[in-house]
Amino acid sequence: MISVEKAAHAGKESLKSRMAAIGGSFSYEETAYHLPVTFALTGNAVNSAEEAQKAYNASAENPLVAGECLQAFQAARNGKESPPYTGFIPDAVLRTLGYSLVDGSILGLVLVAGSPPAPDTAAGLCRELQEKYMLTFLSGDIIQSLTSSGVKVGAEYRLVPLGSRPSSAIHFIDIIARVAMMFGGVTPGDAGRLLAYAKERAKAIVIVFPGLNDEEIALIDAFCLLGIPVIAAGDYDGDQWIRVQPADAVRTGMELKGIKVSVTAIPIPMACSPAFEGKSIRKEEMQVEFGGGRSPAFELLRVRPAGEVEDGKVTVIGPEIDAIPQGSAAPLGIIIEVAGKQMKKEYEPVLERRIHNFVNYGEGSWHVAQRDLIWVRLSQEAVAKGVRIRDLGTLLAAKFRMDFPDLLDAVQVTLITDEKTALAERTKAGKIYQERDDRILGMRDTDVDTFYSCTLCQTFAPNHVCIITPERPALCGAISWLDGKIAFEIAPAGANQPVEKGKIIDMDRGEFEGVNRFVKKASHGEVDRCSLYSIMEYPMTCCGCFECIALTLPEVNGFMVVNREYKGLTPSGMSFSTLAGTIGGGAQTPGFAGISKSYILSDRFLQAEGGIERLVWMPAILMQELKGRLVENLRKKGVESLIDKIADETKAGTIEELASFLVSVDHPVLAMKPLF
Amino acid sequence: MGLSTLSEWTGRIGELVIGASHAEGGTRSHVVRIGGERDLPYIGTHPSGHKPLVAYELADDPSLWPAAATRYIGDWVHDTADWAAYAEKEYTPDLIRLHLTSTRHRGFSDTSRIGTTIESVLQATRLPLIVEGSDDPAMDSAVYQKIGEAAEGERILLGTAEAGRYRSVAAAAMAYGHSVIAQSPIDINLAKQLNILLRETGLPSDRIAIDPYTGALGYGFEYSYSVMERIRYSALKGDTDLAMPMISSATDSLTVKEVREAQGSEAEKTAVAWELYSMLPATIAGASIVCVRHPLSIAGLKSAIDSLWNGENVEGV
C-alpha cells in the first residue's frame, strides 16, 4: 500500500529540485494560452526557465505548475514523443473538443493513468467509457496495455494517448484550463474562477492504476484541488483518493461528478407519454386493479444511501399478472428507493407525488389518489400485449431518472403483490406519512418570513402569479408551501421562487409589501397589489387550474364555492365552466377567487370578508369530501351547527331558493354586515 | 415623430455586435450594432438604441429558394460568392444572410463544401454575415462546427437555435466567437425558456438575438407582430431574459399564393409589397434586423425605416 500523503510530499520536493535545475527557453506551439495551467493559475506567460521559476513561486510551488513547466521543458529538449502519443494538444483541436462538450456529444472527460494489472481490465474499462460517451485521455503504460490487447487508440476512438509516462497527465489539466478560458470566460491569473469552473462545470474524473512515481502522485493529488475526483484502482491510500475495484471505477467517478447517461427509451411493451395521462381505464376494460378500497395498496418513495440502490433494478414480491384472476382486485405496494448526491429526505413527498403522473403516462396503466389511498388499474389490452406488473416498476425507475436527472443517480423499484408483505409494509409506510404530515400541520402564515410563488401557469396565463403560503396552498391544490420550498431547492431558477413577506400592509386582508413587490414584477407590471385572504379587494389572479371557484352572491350577502367536478348550475346562475371562463387568464376579478379545496379548511379562508361563516353554498360532492375535516374546524371555532346551514344543490338550486333556505336555517350571514 | 413615451420603462435591450473589423481580427469593412433600446421603436425625436437594419437573404443552393427571389437576380445565383458580391454592390443591404440550403438535400454529408462556401462569401463581401445552418438535428453537430470554424474571427450571427436543438449552435458560437439566433414558435414563454437554456450552456446573453418566428402577411403575421410587441414590453418592463434584440424574416412571403401567381409586371411589385408590408411593421413591433429575399425590397425598406427613424414625411411612403 502506497501512502499518497508521503509520496506526494516526496514528489513535491523532487519537483521543486528539478524546477531549480532547468534552464533555457521553451514553450508550447499552436496555442494562444502559453503554458495553459500556469497561465490560468498565475497569469504568467512562460517562455523560459526563469519565467517558469517565477510562476512556480507565484503559485506557491503548485505541483501542477511544476509538472507543466517540466513537461514543456522536456518536450522542447527531447522533442515530442512519436505517435500514437499526442503530447500537448493544439488549440484548434481543443476547440473541437470544447464544442463536443457543449454540444453534448461527449458527456465528460476522463483521465486514466498508470499500469493496469491485466490488459483485459484496461480494455473493459475503456469500452465502458466509450459506451458512456466519455472522452478518455490515457497516460502511461495503459496505452501499451490497450494496444497489445487489440484496442485501437486515437481521438477518433475517443481514447487519446497523451504520453508514455503518467507525468503526461498534466496535459489533461492544460485541456481543462484552456476549456475554462475559451468557454468559461475564466481570465488568466484568476485562480479562484478557474477552481470554481473546474469544480462546478468541468465534468472530469481521474482513474489511477498502480505504477505512479512520487512526482506523478504529487501531480495527480493536486487534481483534487480542482474538484476532480481521483478514483484509485490500485494500492493507494490517500484521504482524498477513492479506492474502488477496477470494475466500479467508471460508475463511481461518473456518480461523483454527477455525469449521467440519459435514458431515452423505456423497454416495456406499452407506450409511455404524457399524452395518455388523461385516459382512464373503465371497469370493463380492466384486467386487474389494486387498491381503491378493494384491496390493500400504497406507495412510498424513500431516499437511501447510494450503495443500497441499484439503478434500474425492479423486484416483484408475490404473484405476477398471470397468477391473478382477471377482473379481481389484488394487493399492491409500490416502494421506490432513490439515491442521489443532492437528494434530501424532505424531497420524498414531492417526488412520491410524481408516481401518479408516471403511472398514468403508461398507455394501459391508470392511477388515482396518493399514499395508502391509491387505486391502480392495468388494462386488458395492455396485458394482452405483454405488459406485466414488473413493467410498472421499469416505467417508474426510468421516468424518475429521466425527469430528475440532476437529483437522482439511481432508482430501484419494489412491487409487492403478496398480501401479507404488502400489509406489513403499509403499516411501516403509515408511520412515515404521519411524520411528514406533522411537519406542515399547524404551520401558520405568521410563523414564516417567506412565501413561495408559482408561475408554472404563465405559459397560458402570462401575468398570473400564485402566492403560496402555509395556510393558502396553490389554487390548483397541488403545491403546498413546503412543496414550493423544496421545488425551489431542487430547481433554483424554476417556477417556484421565494417571496419575502415584507412589512404587513393589512393583516386582515393578507396584504404584504414584499408580496406586492414580487407580484408586480412577476406579473410584468400588470398587477400592483395582491391580498391573500380577501375576495373583494385585490384578490389573487387566477390561471385556469383552480380546484374551486369562490364567488360572492350579493343577493344573500355570502359566498358560494363550486368545485371543478360539479357539472350542474349553481345559484349564481352559472356552471363551473362558465365561471372559469370569466375569471381565468391571469386577471384580478374582485368578487371572485380561484382556490384550492384545502384553502376552504384554512383559518385564513377569505377572512377579510368573514371567512367560513359567510359560506352559504357548495355542491354536495364537495361537502362530502370536506365534511369530516370541516366539522372538526367548525367545532374548534364553536360554530359546529354551521355545517347544516351550508346549502347544496339538493337544498337550493337557485338564488331565490337559497335566500329562503338561509332564512329557514338562520344562517349567520343574515346578521353579518353587507358585503357591498 | 416628436412623440414621447407614455410609459416609464425600467429595462434596456442589450446590444449585439455582428461582424469583426480588421482591428478585431476579422475582415469586415465595418461592424453593425443592434439593440440598446430604452423605449419602443421610433419613439422620441431621437429614438433610443440603434436603427433597424435590413439583411438580404441568399442561398448556397438556389434550387431550394423561392423562384420570385432568384428570377430577378438571374445568373448570379449560380455562384454564391458572386451573388453576395453583386447584391452588396447593387442593392446595398446592411447585412448578408446566407442560408445553407444545400444541407437540406437528403443524405447530405459534404460538410467541407460548406466551409469553402462560407470562406468564399466572406471574401466576396465585406458586409457582416448571418449564416443559417442545417435544419436536421442528425447533422447539426457536424454542420455547425464547420460553419463556426470557417467563420472564426468574423463574429457572425449564427442560426438557428430552437428549444429541442440548440446545443450545437451554442457550442459553435462559444467555440469560435459568434452569436446565436434563438427561434421560438410565436410564443413569449418559449422564447424566454430558450434564452435561459442558452445561458445555461454558458453563452452570454449579449450574444443572442431573438427570432420569434414571423408568419407571412395574411398568413399569420399578426400573431408574430403581437408576440414581438409582448416580448419587447416585457423586456422594457425589466425582464432581462427577454432583453435581447429581435430578428424577423418573413420567410414564406415569396411563396404565398398571391406572390406565386402574380403575372407580368405585377409579379415583382407583388413580391416586394409582400416583403415590405410585413418587414416594416416588424420594425415597429421591435425587430432590429429585418430580412428580405427580393433585392428590390431593400431600398424601399431602408428608406421607410429612415423616414420613421428621422421623423420625416417622405412622399409616397
The alpha carbon of residue A526 is apart from the nearest alpha carbon of chain B, in Å, by: 10
Residue A221 lies in a domain: yes
What CATH number does residue A393 fall under? 3.30.1650.10
A193 contacts in B (CB within 8 Å)? none
Cβ–Cβ gap B204/A493 under 8 Å: no
* pLDDT value at residue B88: 96
- Which residues lie below 8 Å from residue A154, measured CB to CB, with a gap of 6+? A84, A160, A161
Residue B24 lies in a domain: no
Lowest mean pLDDT among A266-280, A347-361, A373-387, A563-577: A266-280
Residue B4 lies in a domain: no
Cβ–Cβ gap B175/A101 under 8 Å: no
Interface subset of B 259-298, CB within 8 angstroms of A: none
What one-character DSSP code corresponds to residue A226? G
Segment A17-30, tens digit of pLDDT: 999 999 889 989 88
Nearest-angstrom CA–CA distance, B15 and B42: 17
- Which residues lie below 8 Å from residue A652, measured CB to CB, with a gap of 6+? A571, A617, A658, A660, A661
Interface subset of A 182-211, CB within 8 angstroms of B: 182-185, 201
Which amino acid does the sequence have at A142? I
Residue A268 lies in a domain: no
* pLDDT value at residue A629: 84
Cβ–Cβ gap B176/A101 under 8 Å: no
* pLDDT value at residue B6: 58
Q: Identify the residue among A96, A97, A100, A103 best suited for mutation to test binding to B, counting B beta carbons within 10 A and taking the highest.
A: A103
**Owner of C-alpha cell 494489472:** A117
- Which residues lie below 8 Å from residue A281, measured CB to CB, with a gap of 6+? A364, A365, A366, A377, A378, A379
Whether residue A619 is preceded by a cis peptide bond, meaning omega within 30 degrees of 0, is no
> Chain B within 8 Å of A101 (Cβ-Cβ)?
yes
Q: Identify the residue among B174, B187, B195 best suited for mutation to test binding to A, counting A beta carbons within 10 A and taking the highest.
A: B174
- Once rounded to an integer, what is the mean pLDDT over residues A274-278? 64
Residue A611 three-state SS: helix
Burial of B54 (0-12, 13-18, 19+ CB in 10 A): buried
- Residue A285 shares a structural domain with residue A339: yes
Closest in A459, A493, A525 to B237, CB measured: A525
Segment B13-55, tens digit of pLDDT: 999 999 999 999 899 998 999 999 999 999 887 899 999 999 9
Compute φ and ψ for B229, nearest 5 degrees.
-60, -45
Residue B55 lies in a domain: yes
Q: Give me the percent of chain A exceeding a pLDDT of 70.
A: 98
Segment A608-653, tens digit of pLDDT: 999 999 999 999 999 988 888 899 889 999 999 999 999 999 999 9
Cβ–Cβ gap A183/B188 under 8 Å: no
- Residue A408 shares a structural domain with residue A468: no
- Residue A505 shares a structural domain with residue A647: yes
Query: B281 lies in which domain range?
Result: 31-310
- Residue A298 shares a structural domain with residue A184: no
CA-to-CA separations, A217 to A15, A73, A244, B63, in angstroms, rounded: 11, 20, 17, 62
What pLDDT band is residue A486 in, cutting at 50, 70 and 90? confident
* pLDDT value at residue A263: 59
- Once rounded to an integer, what is the mean pLDDT over residues A160-186? 91
* pLDDT value at residue B1: 43
Interface subset of A 451-510, CB within 8 angstroms of B: 458-459, 462, 493
- A357 has a pLDDT exceeding 90: no
What pLDDT band is residue A275 in, cutting at 50, 70 and 90? low
B141 contacts in A (CB within 8 Å)? 100, 103, 105
Interface subset of B 162-201, CB within 8 angstroms of A: 167-168, 170-172, 174-176, 188-189, 196, 201
The alpha carbon of residue A335 is apart from the nearest alpha carbon of chain B, in Å, by: 33
* pLDDT value at residue B5: 58
What pLDDT band is residue A368 in, cutting at 50, 70 and 90? confident
> Chain B within 8 Å of A11 (Cβ-Cβ)?
no
Here the cell at position B30 is 465595418
Rounded to two decimals, the ipTM of the complex is: 0.73
* pLDDT value at residue B317: 42
> Chain B within 8 Å of A99 (Cβ-Cβ)?
yes
* Most confident stretch, A271-275, A318-322, B263-267: A318-322
Cβ–Cβ gap B145/A462 under 8 Å: no
- Residue A525 shares a structural domain with residue A548: yes
- Residue A166 shares a structural domain with residue A307: no
Segment A495-504, tens digit of pLDDT: 889 999 999 9
- Which residues lie below 8 Å from residue B16, measured CB to CB, with a gap of 6+? B33, B34, B35, B157, B179, B206, B207, B208, B209, B244, B245, B288
The last residue of a domain, from among A438, A457, A476: A438
Residue B316 lies in a domain: no
- Residue A280 shares a structural domain with residue A301: yes
Residue A265 lies in a domain: no
Pick the residue with more confidence: B102 or A460?
A: B102
Whether residue B101 is preceded by a cis peptide bond, meaning omega within 30 degrees of 0, is no
Residue A465 lies in a domain: yes
Which amino acid does the sequence have at A412? Q
Give the mean pLDDT of chain A.
89
What CATH number does residue B293 fall under? 3.20.20.20
- Residue A513 shares a structural domain with residue A400: no
Nearest-angstrom CA–CA distance, B183 and B63: 25
Residue B7 lies in a domain: no
Please give the residue of chain B at the shortest CA–CA distance from A197. Answer: B202
Segment A432-458, tens digit of pLDDT: 988 877 776 678 899 899 999 988 777
The alpha carbon of residue B118 is apart from the nearest alpha carbon of chain A, in Å, by: 18
* pLDDT value at residue B251: 87
* pLDDT value at residue A585: 80
The last residue of a domain, from among A438, A473, A492: A438
SS3 content of chain B, % helix, strand, coil (to 5): 50, 15, 35
Residue A70 lies in a domain: yes
Nearest-angstrom CA–CA distance, A308 and A607: 49
Closest in B167, B172, B196 to A493, CB measured: B196
* Most confident stretch, A361-375, A455-469, A552-566: A552-566
Query: A112 lies in which domain range?
Result: 2-256
Segment A550-580, tens digit of pLDDT: 999 999 999 999 998 898 999 999 999 899 8
> Chain B within 8 Å of A103 (Cβ-Cβ)?
yes
* A–B interface: beta-carbon pairs under 8 A: 53
Which regions of chain B are under pLDDT 50?
A: 1-2, 316-317
B234 contacts in A (CB within 8 Å)? 524
Residue A261 lies in a domain: no
Residue B140 lies in a domain: yes
The last residue of a domain, from among A409, A438, A467: A438
- Residue A449 shares a structural domain with residue A433: no
Here the cell at position B88 is 452588396
* pLDDT value at residue A661: 96
Stated pTM of the model: 0.62
- Residue A248 shares a structural domain with residue A359: no
Nearest-angstrom CA–CA distance, A636 and A116: 73
Number of domains in chain B: 1
| The 3-state secondary structure of B71-137, one letter per residue | HHHHHHHHCHHHHHHHHHHHHCCCEEEEECHHHHCCCCCCHHHHHHHHHHHHHHCCCCEEEECCCCH
* pLDDT value at residue B2: 43
- Residue A197 shares a structural domain with residue A299: no
Residue B103 lies in a domain: yes
Please give the residue of chain B at the shortest CA–CA distance from A495. Answer: B193
Segment A46-97, tens digit of pLDDT: 999 999 999 999 999 999 999 999 999 999 888 888 888 999 999 888 888 8
Instruction: State the maximum Cα–Cα separation within chain A, in Å, rounded to a whole number.
Output: 106
Please give the residue of chain B at the shortest CA–CA distance from A104. Answer: B167
Pick the residue with more confidence: A211 or A435?
A: A211
Contact (Cβ atoms closer than 8 angstroms) between residue B247 and residue B94? no
The alpha carbon of residue B76 is apart from the nearest alpha carbon of chain A, in Å, by: 35
- Residue A335 shares a structural domain with residue A357: yes
> Chain B within 8 Å of A156 (Cβ-Cβ)?
no
Contact (Cβ atoms closer than 8 angstroms) between residue B176 and residue B156? no
Task: Give the number of other Cβ atoms within 10 Å of residue B306's Cβ.
Answer: 14
Which amino acid does the sequence have at A408? L
Closest in A103, A184, A525 to B141, CB measured: A103
DSSP-assigned beta bridge partners for residue A551 = A560, A592
Closest in B171, B202, B238 to A521, CB measured: B238
Number of domains in chain A: 3
* pLDDT value at residue A79: 85
CA-to-CA separations, A523 to A491, A580, A585, A639, B22, in angstroms, rounded: 21, 20, 12, 39, 46
The alpha carbon of residue A13 is apart from the nearest alpha carbon of chain B, in Å, by: 39
Please give the residue of chain A at the shortest CA–CA distance from B242. Answer: A524
Which amino acid does the sequence have at A188? P
Residue B274 lies in a domain: yes
Q: Identify the residue among B6, B145, B166, B169 best suited for mutation to test binding to A, counting A beta carbons within 10 A and taking the highest.
A: B145
- Once rounded to an integer, what is the mean pLDDT over residues A467-474? 93
Closest in A99, A183, A493 to B145, CB measured: A99
B172 contacts in A (CB within 8 Å)? 99
Contact (Cβ atoms closer than 8 angstroms) between residue A297 and residue A374? yes
